[in-house]
Structure 1
Amino acid sequence: MYQRSIVATLSQRMSEPRRFLQILIGPRQTGKTTAVTQALKQIDIPYLYREVGEHGESPDWIRAQWYQARSLVNDANACALLVIDEIQYVKGWADAVKALWDEDARTGIDLRVVLTGSSATLLKSGMDESLAGRFELIRCTHWTYGECRDAFGFSLDDFLFFGGYPGAAGLREDVSRWASYVTDAIIEPSIAKDVLALEDVRNPALLRRLFYLGAPYSAQEVSYRKLLGQLDDRGNTATIAHYLELLAQAGMMSGILKYDPKLLRERSSSPRLLVHDTALMTAAYGSRRTRLLEDPDLKGRLVESAVGAYLIARSQVEGFSLNWWRDGSNEVDFVVSNERQVLGIEVKSGRIKSTGGLTAFVLRYPEARTLIVGSAECTLEDFLLGRVPLLEG
């Protein structure tokens, strides 16, 4: 069975002396449980694996598993490992974990702990509030083109259309069945179980409609007011912005903002919608989805969405900011930046658009470097395979 690079990371962390909680976080159906299972086969210490059911558990359940895992540490075994999968379904999990982890630190028990979860919003709130300084994050992102090519034999067009969900890959010969699986096993559970069931969402129907309306618009600028108008809702733009943040935390769709060092102006800008995996755009397109590879303009949006999704995944791991830029008719598809560097990225995707964006961007920001994805120097395939550096050092 194919193994992602995070398997080696997990097995290494499991084998290290107890230092930090290891928290594996990522969108639903990206292979977190599989990666943990593969890593467990590579270690040589006793372990206890438990999965939290979607009905949830209490903090007492965590304590019971923890005590059982502690019993594995004895004269014959100097250390042990506890793995709890989908920890976000335990209400108050972070406080319980903190107390037990600190007890082990005081008593010198070498019990290593790995937690996984798919609700980034809930996990992060618990980590920030209770577990500061006690954990390391391992991010399980959507599968890359290189991984899908090696594991499933995907062509570039396969990856653009079907995206990077491993469970759906075997259904690609039947597009309707594939789309039903993505909708029923990924999109709807992500909305219902990773957002609505765990967050205080006042208008669940609006959030769901926002995703299904926004995903086909991926790689396009859409103002908050236009979204409200098309959603036929009397809510406010702050609600739409908040719901986009929740969808982003669930690994579904972001509204990336215009690049501007003046952050106040950046946050007041219209977002460019961007799915975190092109499968979400394809599935949400409905019966017209086959046109995504046939119509040059639609395929252009699909290509730009694939590049954007790849950049989102890398930004989560590498910690850079991702934006876009426009001044009048001059537009840059993506802007990657950190404290020291700025990179403007134009995607040659086959659709007709202005070509002066990068030139205007460099005139405005002389320190910026530029990159054209889809050029002879940087092909789309090379970029999606990670062969092209972004920020130096």
Structure 2
Amino acid sequence: MIRPQFEIFAKRMNEKRHFIQVLAGSRQVGKSTIIRQFFKNIDIPHSSESADGTQITTSWIEQLWNTARTRVQSSGEFILCIDEVQKIPNWSETVKKLWDEDTRNGTNIKLALCGSSRLLLEKGLTESLAGRFELIHVPHWSFKEMQEAFGVSLEQYIYFGGYPGAADFTSDEERWKSYIRESIIEASVAKDILMLTQITKPALLRQLFDIGSYYSSQILSYNKMLGQLTDAGNTTTLAHYLTLLNQAGLLCGLQKYSGSLLREKSSSPKFQVYNNALMTTVSGTTFETCRNTPDMWGRFVESAVGAHLVNGERTGGYTTSYWRNANDEVDFVLSRKEAVCAIEVKSGRRKTNRGMDSFKKLYPNAKIYAVSAQPASATLGLEEFLGLRPEELL
């Protein structure tokens, strides 16, 4: 399976040395696979190393670089790739020094960096490497990609989500859930958040992830959460932890659309997982039970729609939110500058909703769409919608 991000990466790496290429995305979305696929198809000398260990320092980066400098003397060109570079303290200053030395000396070492902690990776890039890099965001796998690579059906994608590493053993749900829990959730929380960020209440962060994933596609106020969480502290702590989970590509909190940034920031969040596999793993249900429980299945459908939207934000340049006024609600709102569209998900859940009419009265220039698992002439089919780039709706 060749993803669009591979094409971008390969094109840039085959160009003359201009910028550091950075692949950023959460765990198990295929960043390392892109690197392997690229190296498999080139004859240029190269080296790929990972900093996903303990007690690695900047001297390790210098050792890799010096080896590359030795090899480039005979080959004229060398590609160095460092995975999980953000885990090395002060990595960006060292990379800047070495990169700038090579630029001054005309040393043709091309550099690719990968990382699963978006916050720390981008922090280092913007602080020390401004003007020296290009960022390639690697999102979770879409339905079309999972269907093409693994023959996944629409129903399987809604329930099992889009982690390629787990696709081959969905028939064994306990094994599949164990993989998601240990290799993705725990690794992301422990290695990408707790190890790299000062967290005073790690148990609370894990509880927040569980509750947020369970209630994916639902609105839950911070005050209501305080009553369900042990040692919750205050709403500021919860909001901060939710930001960290978002930056790890696990869970986000959509804000209420109002046209006012101040109001949006103060609203109750609508939880949204980036991958439905996370929702499934904490739900405690089975595929058969979920599929045969209309209200539960409806929530999974809505969450799959939301996941598709939030995964497209980085490349689409839009913001995903929701809208609610009293009993009127719109499931999702996309906005980009002056362009706005409202999306209602007809998932089979019983809900009385005049939200689209009310929203249209407030925002008459907004486009409106309905997405349905059972498509009709006035709606987008769910499979059709999951094959679209969401920005096309704007």
TM-score by length of 1: 0.96
Deviation at 1:214, TM superposition (A): 1.7
1:385 to partner: Cα distance: 1.4
Deviation at 1:303, TM superposition (A): 0.7
Between 33-42 and 45-54, the greater mean CA deviation after superposition: 45-54
Query: Of the candidates 97, 121, 124, which is equivalent to residue 123 of structure 1?
Result: 121
Match of 1:379 in 2: 381
Question: How far apart in 2 are the matches of 1:391 and 1:156?
Answer: 21
Match of 1:110 in 2: 108
Measured after TM superposition, the shift of residue 259 of structure 1 is 0.7
8 Å Cα contact 2:316/2:390 also seen in 1? no
2:188 alignment counterpart: 190
Alignment of structure 1 residues 166-185 onto 2, 5 Å: 166-185=164-183
Deviations for 1:263-307, whole angstroms, at most 9, x for unmatched residues? 111100000001110000000112466532221111111011111
Q: Does structure 2 conserve the Cα–Cα contact (< 8 Å) formed by 1:56 and 1:91?
A: no
| TM superposition shift of 1:3 | 2.3
Corresponding residue SS for 1:390: helix
Distance 1:201 1:86 in 2: 20
Ranges in structure 2 where 5+ consecutive residues have no aligned partner: none
Native 8 Å contact 2:24 2:137 kept in 1: yes
In structure 1, how many angstroms separate the alpha carbons of the residues matched to 2:187 and 2:171? 24
Shift of 1:71: 2.3
Deviation at 1:389, TM superposition (A): 5.6
The 10-residue stretch of structure 1 (318-327 or 266-275) with the greater mean CA deviation from structure 2: 318-327
What is residue 392 of structure 2 aligned with on the other side? 390
Tell me the equivalent position of 1:73.
72
Native 8 Å contact 1:341 1:391 kept in 2? no
CA RMSD of aligned residues (A): 1.5
Tell whether the 8 Å contact from 2:204 to 2:230 is kept in structure 1 after alignment.
no
User: Is 1:31 aligned with 2:33?
Assistant: no
For residue 256 of structure 1, report the CA deviation from its aligned partner. 0.8
Are the aligned partners of 2:204 and 2:232 in contact in 1 as well (CA < 8 Å)? no
Identity rate of aligned residues, in percent? Answer: 46
Q: State how far apart, in whole Å, the 2-side matches of 1:290 and 1:372 are.
A: 27
Counterpart in the other structure of 2:222: 224
Matched, 1:51 2:50: yes
1:373–1:380 Cα contact (<8 Å) kept? yes
Give the alignment partner of residue 150 of structure 2, picking from 149, 152, 173: 152
- Aligned residue for 1:168, secondary structure, equals helix
2 CA distance for matches of 1:124 and 1:388? Answer: 25
Q: Find the residue that maps to 2:198 and give its secondary structure.
A: coil
> How does 1:88-99 map onto structure 2 within 5 Å?
88-99=86-97
Aligned residues: 390
Unaligned segments of structure 1, at least 5 residues: none
Match of 1:366 in 2: 364
Query: Aligned with 1:324: secondary structure?
Result: strand
Pairs within 5 Å for 1:162-311: 162-287=160-285, 290-311=288-309
1:136-183 Cα deviation digits (max 9, x unpaired): 111111111011111111100010111110111111111111111111
Counterpart amino acid of 1:266?
E
How many Å separate the matches in 2 of 1:66 and 1:389? 40
Matched letter for residue 316 of structure 2: E
Amino acid at match of 1:91: P
The 8 Å contact of residues 52 and 83 in structure 2, kept in 1 or not, is answered as no
Aligned to 2:355: 357
Per-residue CA deviation, residues 101-126 of structure 1 (Å, 9 max, x unaligned), is 11122222221110001111211211
Change (3 A) 1:232 1:332: same
Deviations 1:210-257 (A, max 9, x none): 111221100000001111110032411011011001001111110110
C-alpha separation in 2, matches of 1:227 and 1:127: 35
Structure 2: distance between partners of 1:301 and 1:312: 16
Structure 2 length normalisation: TM-score?
Answer: 0.95
Any idea what SS the aligned residue of 1:73 has? Answer: helix
Are residues 4 and 81 of structure 1, via their aligned partners in 2, closer, same or farther at CA, if it must alter by over 3 Å?
same
| 2:93 aligned counterpart, secondary structure | helix
